[in-house]
Amino acid sequence: MASSLGTAQAEYTLNLTKGVTKVSHDVYDLHMLILWICVIIGLGVFGTMFYSIYHHRKSKGHKAAQFHENTTVEIIWTIIPTLILVGMAIPATKTLMELDDVQDSEMSIKVTGWQWKWEYDYLDNGIHFFSSLDEASNKARQVGSGVDPRSVPHYLLNVDHPLVIPTKKKIRFLFTGADVIHSWWVPDLGWKKDAIPGFINESWTSVDKPGTYRGQCTELCGKDHGFMPIVVVAMDQPDYDAWVKKTQDESQKGADLSDQSHDQLVSKGAGVYAKNCSTCHLPDGKGVPGAFPAITGSAVVKGDINAQINLVLNGKGGMPAFAKMLKADELAQVITFTRNALGNAVGDEIQPKAIQELLPKKSAAPVVKTEVKAATPEKVEAVADMSKDELIALGKSVYDSNCSSCHQPEGQGMAPMFPALKGSALIKGDINAQVDLLLNGKGMMPAFGHTLNAKDFASVVTFTRNSLGNSTNDVIQPSAIQKLQAALPPAQDDE
């Protein structure tokens, strides 16, 4: 019954969600098995107890028997529960082992929880993006918005960029957190995993049929915990391949680096601010005292623009590093907006080109495996040798784009999944062994032989051996890598 105060919109169910994966069905079946065992035990125990109470009551002339130990009874009531527990433990253990069996996965996705969005890294094809609450839900949730949440499709359960996966493939997920503990949960997949800073948890799924499956963060991760949904879209392989190509093509386009007028920067920056900043600093820029500083009248915002740019790009304390989340044009727009709106009127601006110069250089995204063909030697143009310093300088940007998400920016790694590069026996050892590992991959390490060009490949090897706390003093030239890549067999189709 509706009231003037409104009602909570929720879906009431009496049982677990069956889900759409084999694991979710196995979890459901285990749940039902244990439930019925408990029901039968409950009926037996309470039925016997109530029968005894009723038929042996004092009003019928029964007197309590006086007896103590009975070895036979004690053996029976020890053996029977033990057998029941063993019978329950066997299917439970089998299901738990199945949940943790990530072997023979066909692709891997790293999931990082942020306040309050999800970051997805496709470790096999280089796709990377952030997923946030969709604009319609974000507007409706604001106090005083005047928008009826019931008019918003999938209110608080929709995102701007869903996680897209192929059907009928075993997909490994690696979970970590960037700030606080989060928990990634999609009921239809049958499990949830905590995303903890400094640790890696893993799980897997395989969805048979295309569809859209929704979930939420289930760890109390801060004031906007309730606005951190998850959307997984499962596609058949041809549709997924088309999505991969489209996404990679769009990532190649990058930001719009054309100069914009002051008014354009401020106008577009308002939208960027509403989506990425208003949850902490509030829509009017007044902040939350003691937690999130006000933008209005801020000494940082009204001071040196370069100091504000550095803070926004690199983060500090509870402030995330937006250099990884936003494009150069979006960064320029939101910085200009905060300095000329929300009660501030500094009058200056920053253009996208200037921001782009400060961002880490990104190498080209890997191409889809199904489109990779072996290059014939006569068509490969020889690459020139480079100095050690040139290799290291280029290698840093290649490392930031392709390796830092797993091995971390300073090379400290994330135990136990991603080993540290700093002081690594592999990196400080034979350079040929490291090159072979990068060319062909092993375990969680993807094969970069078909995804990096010879120059990027040689530079990142040289960088890791002469930076990140290592100083082997050796180098490898692109020409040597080019010869090794020419000898590689063609990349196999995923089918």
Would you tell me how many other CB atoms lie within 10 Å of the CB of residue 185?
A: 16
**Is the pTM higher than 0.75?**
no
> What does pLDDT average to over the chain?
86
pLDDT above 50: residue 5: no
DSSP secondary structure, 373-438, as one string: -PPPGGGPPPPPP--HHHHHHHHHHHHHHHTHHHH-TTS--BTTTB---TT-HHHHS-HHHHHHHH
Length of the chain in terms of residues written: 495
So what's the pLDDT on residue 416? 64
Nearest Cα neighbor of 121 from 190, 166, 172 is: 172
CATH number of the 107-253 domain? 2.60.40.420
pLDDT above 60: residue 26: yes
CATH number of the 262-358 domain? 1.10.760.10
**What residue segments make up the domains of the chain, in order of their start?**
22-53+70-99, 107-253, 262-358, 372-486
Nearest Cα neighbor of 205 from 76, 106, 59 is: 106
pLDDT above 70: residue 27: yes
Q: What is the pLDDT of residues 217-262, one digit of tens each?
A: 999 988 889 999 999 999 999 999 999 999 998 887 778 889 999 9
DSSP secondary structure, 306-353, as one string: HHHHHHHHH-BTTB--TTTTS-HHHHHHHHHHHHSSTT--------HH
Q: pLDDT band for position 466 (50/70/90)?
A: very high
DSSP secondary structure, 431-469, as one string: HHHHHHHHHH-BTTB--GGGTS-HHHHHHHHHHHHHSTT
The mean-pLDDT minimum among 167-176, 314-323, 425-434, 454-463 falls in: 314-323
Q: What is the pLDDT of residues 66-77, one digit of tens each?
A: 877 888 989 998
So what's the pLDDT on residue 227? 92
So what's the pLDDT on residue 378? 42
Q: How far from 4 is each of 1, 143, 144, CA to CA, in Å? A: 10, 16, 15
CATH topology of 107-253 equal to that of 262-358? no
pLDDT above 90: residue 146: no
Q: What architecture is the 372-486 domain classified under in CATH? A: Orthogonal Bundle (1.10)
Using DSSP, state whether 170 is helix, strand or coil: coil
pLDDT above 60: residue 371: no
Distance in angstroms (rounded) separating the CA atoms of residues 109 and 289: 37
Would you tell me how many other CB atoms lie within 10 Å of the CB of residue 187?
A: 18
User: What average pLDDT score do residues 79-98 get?
Assistant: 93
So what's the pLDDT on residue 288? 81
Burial of residue 109 (number of CB atoms within 10 Å: 0-12, 13-18, 19+)? buried
pLDDT above 70: residue 196: yes
Distance in angstroms (rounded) separating the CA atoms of residues 135 and 383: 47
